[in-house]
Structure 1
Amino acid sequence: MSSAEPSTAPGPAGPDWTDPHRLRRYRDRVLTERRRLRAAFADPEAGQRRVLADLLEFNSRTEYGVRHGFDRIRTLDDYRRAVPLQTYDDLAPYIERAAAGEPEVLTADRPAVFFTSSGSTGAHKKIPVTPRFMRTTFFPFYYAAWAPLIEHFPDVLAHPGAVLNLKHDPVSAPPTTASGRPHVGASQVDFGQVFGEPLSAEPGTGAPWATLPVPVAAGDHAEKMYLRLRLAVENDVRCVIGINPAMVAALPYQLRLWWPRIVKEIRDGTLGGVPHGSPDPDRAAELERLAARHGTVRPAHVWPRMRALFCWTTAAASLYLPRLREEYGAHVTALPAPVAASEGPVGVALDRHPTAGSLVVNASVYEFADADEDLAPDTATLRPHELEPGRDYHVVFSHVGGLYRYAVGDVVRVVDHLDGVPRLEYAGRATRSDHAGERLRDAQVIRSLDTALRATGLELRGATCRVNTSAQQTAAYEFAVAPLTPWSQEEAGRFTGLLDTALGRESAGYRTARTRALLDAPSLHLLDEDAFQRDWQARVDSGIRPTQVKDRIFRQDPQQWSALTGRTPA
C-alpha cells in the first residue's frame, strides 16, 4: 500500500487470535482431523458401515427409529428397504414436533440449535442440530475443511484482522423455535458456547469488526456489511472468506459504492456516523491518492498482501471467478469451500484442487442417483464406489442428527476417484426448468454457457435465464448476461447460437423440444457489467441476509427478472 501500515490490533471480542498457544492448538486440530479423514479412505466401505451402525443404534428408541425398525437393520440393503428416500417436506412433521420441544422424535438427544436453510426462496427450513451430530459428523469435517488454507497460507493467521470473514454474523437475540431453541444460520452460532468447542471459531472471528463496536439494527445487513468493510480497509487483510461466491463478487462493487463514505469516515474518525478512534486525515488522503492513481479502487489496491479467497468455485461462480480473483490480486488463490449444506457435509477439499472435495466417508452414509432421474421414495441408489467420473448425481445422505436417506436437493459432479473415494464438485441445485420437456438443470445451463464463452473468447460477470411464455410466440429461453467488456452485435449473435447448440447437447429434452418447434431459439439481453452485483446489493438492502442471496441460474419470477434487467417480461 504505502508507508502507512494498516492496523493489526485485535478485535474487541471473540477468540484471542494473538495467543500463540491457541493458534498452535487450532492448527493441530485442523491438520489432525484431515489426517483422520484421510486414514478413513483406507477402507471407506468399513467407515460407511460404522456410520450406519452408530446412527441406527443411537436412535433406535426414537419414534422414527421404532417405526422403521432400526434395531433390526444390519446392512445398507436392509436400511434401504426399511427407509424410503425423502425430502425435507417428508420429515417436516417430525422436525416441527422436535422444534416444539418433544423429545426422541428423530434423535435420541435433543437439538440444541436449528439451522435455517441457506436458500433464498420459500419458508426457511428448521434443520435439527444435535450435540451428537456436531461431535461425530460436523466438527471432524468442519476442521478438516480449513486445512489447505492453514497449511499453505499460514500468514492468514498473522494477526486477528488478517481475515475478512464475510459470512460471520453473530446475533445477540436470535429468533427461536417454539421450544426456545435458536433458529439461525450456522455462521450465527457460537459453537464454543453452545457445543463446548472453543477452537471451532473460524479465522476472522477475532477481527476488529467481528463484533461491531457501534449500534446497528440486527436486520440492517447492508449497514453491517458497510461497517465491517469500513474497518477492514484500515487493516492488513490477507484472506476473504465468503463460502457463497456472490458475497465475494459483491465486495469489489461495495468498495466502489461506499468508497467516498469510507474515506470521509476515516478522515473524521467515525464509524457509521458515530465517533470511533481518532480522525486520520493523512490516511484518508493516502486512500484518495490510491484511488486516483488507479482510476478506480479494487481489493488488490487496498489489501496488497491478499493471498487467498475461500468460497465455492464451481456452478455459476465458475463463469466469473477467474476474473473476479484478479480483482483481489494477480497471485491470489481461490480455495474451494466444502460441498455441504445446512443439513450436512458431503465433500471437503484436502489439498489445493481448484474445485473438488473428497467424500467425507466418516460423517454420513452416502447414496447417489443419476441427476437426470426424478427422485422417488423407491429410487434405486448407487454407493460411492459405483460413481463414474464426469457424471452428475443427486446426493442422498443419512447421519446421526436425524436426517435419514435425505435428498438434500443438490447435484454433484464426480471429478475423479482419489485414495479410494470419489472427489466431488458442487454442480448446482436439482431443480429443473421444464416448459416443454427440456428438463434443464443448473449444471447443464452452466456448462452450455461455458462452452459458448470458450468458443467465442467472451467473458461475463453474471448470467441467468427464464422461459418467455408470451402468447404471441413460441416459448423460448431468454438469457440475461453481464459482459466483462462490451460485446458486439456479431459476437452476441454467435454466442447465442453456440449456446443453443450446447443446450441441445447437454439435454436430450431440450434438443427434442427445439426439433419439434416446442421451443424457439433463445434470445439474449446484454446488461451492464455491474448489473448482477447491483441486483445482489438491492436484495441485501431489502433485508435478506447476504449468505442467502445466491447466484440463480433460473429467474422465472417476473419481478425478479424485471429488477435485474429493467425489462417487464411479456
Structure 2
Amino acid sequence: MSSIHDKDREKQALNFIEEVTSNAAEVQLRVLSSILERNAHTEYLNRHGLHGRTDRKSFKECLPVITYEDLEPEIQRIANGDTSPILSALPISEFLTSSGTSAGQRKLMPTISEELERRCLLYSLLMPVMNQYLSDLDKGKGMYLFFVKSEAKTPGGLLTRPVLTSYYKSRYFIDRPYDPYNVYTSPNETVLCSDAHQSMYCQLLCGLVQKSEVLRMGAVFASGFLRAIRFLEQHWEEFCEDIKRGELNDCITDSAARAAVMQILARPNPELADAIGRECAKDSWRGIITRLWPNTKYIDVIVTGTMAQYIPTLDYYSGGLPLVCTMYASSECYFGLNLNPLCPPSQVSYTLLPNMAYFEFLPVHNNKQEEDLYRSGVISKTTSPKIKEDDELVELVDVEMGKEYELVITTYAGIYFFIPFM
C-alpha cells in the first residue's frame, strides 16, 4: 500500500502541472525575465543591443532568430577554454552532445549545473501522471535498460557527453532517494558499466532473475529496446545457465557490475532457469515479453517520429502491450510530458511545461517543391525554406490548433535558437 507521504507527493506533482500550465503566460514571462536578468551582462546579449534591459519587448526587438550554426563560434570559444560570460553569466558545467550534426560533427549544447534540477523535476512528474491510468505500479519494479555512452573533453577541459549519460552519472540518479514508483531491476553499477555488452548482459540477467516483480519495462528508444530483445535471443542459454548455477558468466569482468549482479543472482535457481528456457526455446518468439515477464503492464519507450517504424515489431514481441511515450526532451532542453500516456502512438502529444525554458514558435509554410530541393541539397540555406524571415514569433499561449510551427528556445544556459525538427 502506498504511504500517505507518497500520495501527498503525487498530489503535489499533479497540482504543480495544473498550476504552471493554467498560468502559462505568467510563468513564461517570469522565466524570460529570470534568464535575461541573470545573463544581462553577457557578451552575446550586449552585442545585440540589450545592454541590461530585461523586458520582453526589448528581447524580441534586439535578438535575431538564429540556428545552432549561428551560435557555433561562441560555443567553440567556450569549448576552447574561454571562461568569460559569453552566453551565460553562470559557468558552463559541460557540453551535452546532440544526436544531430553540424558539418559532420555532433552539436555541443552548453549547459549549467542547475539544469539537472530542472530535468529531475520533469522526471518526478512522470509517475504521478502514469498513476492516474494504471494502479499498483508501486507494488513491483521497472525493468529499464539504461546505458552510459562515451565521454570526451574539449580543448578547454569541459566534458562532452550525451544528456542521459550526464544524468546517470550525477548524484541525482546515483544517490536518488527511495521511491516505490521508481525501483529498478538494474543496479546502478550495471547502468554505469561503460562496456555496452557487459552492461546489457547484466541488466537483462537481473531482469530475468526478478521477472515476477517486473510491472513495466522500457528503454529510451524503440530501436534500443529491440536491440535488447535480439541480445536476449542470442544469449538466453547463457542466462539460463547463470541462473541455474547461481554464478555469473566469466565474460563479465567489470568488478562493480559483477558484485552487484551476484547479490541479485545470490543462489542457484534451476526451476526459474528451466521456466525461462522453455519459453525461449519455442519456435516463435511472439509475445515473448509477456511470456517471460507476465506482470508487465506497459512498455515505456519512444515510438514517435522515426521510431514509429518499430511499432509492429514491438507489438509482435510484447503481445500488444501499451507503448507509452512519457516525455519530450533533447540535449538542448527538456520540454514537457505526455498527459495521456496510454493513447495510441499515432495520437501522442506533449504538453510543454512553461517553467522549463522560454518557448516561442515560428510558423511553418509547407512548400513541398522547395522543401524537397532543400532536403536534397539543391537549395542551400541556413534555415529551412519552411521558415520565412518576416514571420513574427508566436507565444506559447498563442499557438493555434491545426497550424505547424518550429520551436524556438531560450534557455537558462544562454541558448537562443530554433530547433528544426523536420
TM-score by length of 2: 0.77
Q: Which amino acid aligns with 1:403?
A: I
Counterpart for residue 38 of structure 1: 18
CA gap 1:361/1:329 in 2 versus in 1, 3 angstroms: same
Q: Shift of residue 53 of structure 1?
A: 0.9
Counterpart pick for 1:57 among 37, 42, 48: 37
Separation in 1, partners of 2:207, 2:229: 13
1:60-79 pair list within 5 angstroms:
60-68=40-48, 69=50, 71-75=52-56, 77-79=57-59
Counterpart pick for 1:361 among 330, 333, 354: 354
Separation in 1, partners of 2:196, 2:315: 24
| 3-state secondary structure, aligned to 2:210 | coil
Counterpart pick for 1:164 among 132, 136, 143: 143
Separation in 2, partners of 1:201, 1:192: 17
- In 2, are the aligned partners of 1:368 and 1:382 still within 8 Å (CA)? yes
Counterpart for residue 97 of structure 2: 116
Q: Which amino acid aligns with 1:296?
A: W
- In 2, are the aligned partners of 1:113 and 1:129 still within 8 Å (CA)? yes
Counterpart pick for 1:210 among 188, 195, 199: 188
Query: Is 1:408 aligned to 2:419, yes or no?
Result: yes
Separation in 2, partners of 1:287, 1:249: 19
Q: Identity of counterpart residues, as a percentage?
A: 21
Q: Shift of residue 377 of structure 1?
A: 6.7
Q: Shift of residue 140 of structure 1?
A: 3.4
- In 1, are the aligned partners of 2:21 and 2:353 still within 8 Å (CA)? no
| 3-state secondary structure, aligned to 1:301 | helix
| 3-state secondary structure, aligned to 1:238 | strand
- In 2, are the aligned partners of 1:192 and 1:200 still within 8 Å (CA)? no
Q: Shift of residue 50 of structure 1?
A: 1.3
Separation in 2, partners of 1:389, 1:289: 52
Separation in 2, partners of 1:343, 1:73: 23
Counterpart for residue 499 of structure 1: none
Counterpart pick for 1:307 among 277, 283, 297: 297
Counterpart pick for 1:352 among 341, 356, 359: 341
Counterpart for residue 128 of structure 1: 110
Q: How many residues align?
A: 380
Separation in 2, partners of 1:210, 1:123: 31
Query: Is 1:80 aligned to 2:60, yes or no?
Result: yes
Separation in 1, partners of 2:359, 2:326: 19
How large is the Cα RMSD of the aligned pairs? 3.6
Q: Shift of residue 107 of structure 1?
A: 0.9
Structure 2: gaps of 5 or more residues: 253-257, 367-384
Counterpart for residue 400 of structure 2: 388
Query: Is 1:333 aligned to 2:345, yes or no?
Result: no
Counterpart for residue 397 of structure 1: 409
Structure 1: gaps of 5 or more residues: 1-19, 411-429, 431-570
| 3-state secondary structure, aligned to 1:41 | helix
Counterpart for residue 229 of structure 1: 204
Query: Is 1:263 aligned to 2:253, yes or no?
Result: no
Counterpart for residue 97 of structure 1: 77
| 3-state secondary structure, aligned to 1:72 | coil
Separation in 2, partners of 1:226, 1:65: 49
Separation in 1, partners of 2:176, 2:84: 27
Separation in 2, partners of 1:229, 1:157: 21
Q: Shift of residue 392 of structure 1?
A: 3.1
Separation in 1, partners of 2:205, 2:40: 52
Counterpart for residue 317 of structure 1: 307
| 3-state secondary structure, aligned to 2:209 | coil
Separation in 1, partners of 2:47, 2:21: 33
Separation in 2, partners of 1:285, 1:151: 37
Q: Which amino acid aligns with 1:328?
A: S
Q: Which amino acid aligns with 2:105?
A: A
1:270-309 pair list within 5 angstroms:
270-273=247-250, 276=262, 277-292=266-281, 295-296=284-285, 298-309=288-299
Q: Shift of residue 196 of structure 1?
A: 11
Deviates more, 1:347-356 or 1:118-127: 118-127
Q: Which amino acid aligns with 1:138?
A: R
CA gap 1:142/1:288 in 2 versus in 1, 3 angstroms: closer
| 3-state secondary structure, aligned to 1:327 | helix
Q: Shift of residue 296 of structure 1?
A: 3.2
- In 2, are the aligned partners of 1:47 and 1:362 still within 8 Å (CA)? yes
Q: Which amino acid aligns with 1:125?
A: K
CA gap 1:169/1:324 in 2 versus in 1, 3 angstroms: closer
Separation in 1, partners of 2:391, 2:173: 36
CA gap 1:197/1:119 in 2 versus in 1, 3 angstroms: farther
1:431-446 pair list within 5 angstroms:
none
- In 2, are the aligned partners of 1:230 and 1:262 still within 8 Å (CA)? yes
Separation in 1, partners of 2:353, 2:26: 13
